[in-house]
Amino acid sequence: MPHVGAGFSSWRPDETGVALLMNHLSPDEVSHLLSSVSGLSARMGCSFSDALRHLIALAESGDPQSLAVPRDRRDFARRLLRVRQQRNVVLGADSFRDPAWDMLLDLYVQDTGQAGMMISALCIASGVPQTTALRYIYRLAQLGLVLITDHPTDQRRTMVSLSDDARPRIERLLDMMQSGG
C-alpha cells in the first residue's frame, strides 16, 4: 500500500485488510476512516495501529467494556496537568485550583521508581501557598495516597512519593478520563 501520510508511516495493513477496504468502501470512505482512526489514536494517546486494532476488536466483539486499550497513561497525565495549569491563565481567574489532584498527577508523571519528589518542589508545583500545599500533602498521607520519607542521602530534605495503593487508583481514573466514562 502506498504511503498515506506522516501519521500512518508505520502502519501496514495485511492484504486481507486492503482488499476489504477496497471492495467495500469508496475512496472517500477510506479517507474518512483513516482520518477517524488518526483522531482516535491522538485522543487515546496510542499509535495509529493500536487505535485501528481497538476499532476492529470493538466491531468484532460489540462490547466496548471488554476491550483493554493500550495507552500511555503518563503522557496523558502530563497533558492533563499542562491543561490544568493553563486553565487559570486562559480563564483569567485563580479560583479553579485543585491542589491535591494536581499534586497526585505531578507525582504520577514524575514517578521514576526513585525516592519521589522533594516536598518543596511539590509545594511549588501545586500553585498554592506553601502552608496550604503542606496541609494537602499531609492529608494525602493520612489517606494513604502518598508516602512522606527522609531523603536517602540528605537528612535536611523530605521526599514525597505515591503509595503503592495510589498508583492503580490514579491509573483507573486516568483510564476513565481517556475513555470518557
Same domain flag for 173 and 144: yes
Same domain flag for 46 and 86: no
CATH number of the domain encompassing residue 147: 1.10.10.10
Per the domain annotation, does 4 fall within a domain?
no
Q: What is the pLDDT of residue 129?
A: 92
Same domain flag for 84 and 62: no
Same domain flag for 164 and 114: yes
Same domain flag for 33 and 104: no
Same domain flag for 52 and 122: no
Contact 55, 40 (CB under 8 A): yes
User: d(Cα 78, Cα 70) in Å, to the nearest integer?
Assistant: 17
The neighbour count for residue 146, using CB atoms within 10 Å, is 27
> CA angle, 33 as apex, 27 and 36 as ends, to 5°?
145
Q: What is the pLDDT of residue 147?
A: 95
Could you list the residue range(s) of the whole structural domain that residue 21 is in?
11-66
Q: What is the mean pLDDT of residues 160-171?
A: 92
The domain total for the chain is 2
Question: Alpha-carbon torsion 95, 98, 99, 103, what sign?
Answer: negative
Q: What percent of the chain has pLDDT over 70?
A: 56
Per the domain annotation, does 54 fall within a domain?
yes
Q: What is the mean pLDDT of residues 145-159?
A: 91
**φ, ψ at 131 (rounded to 5°):** -65, -40
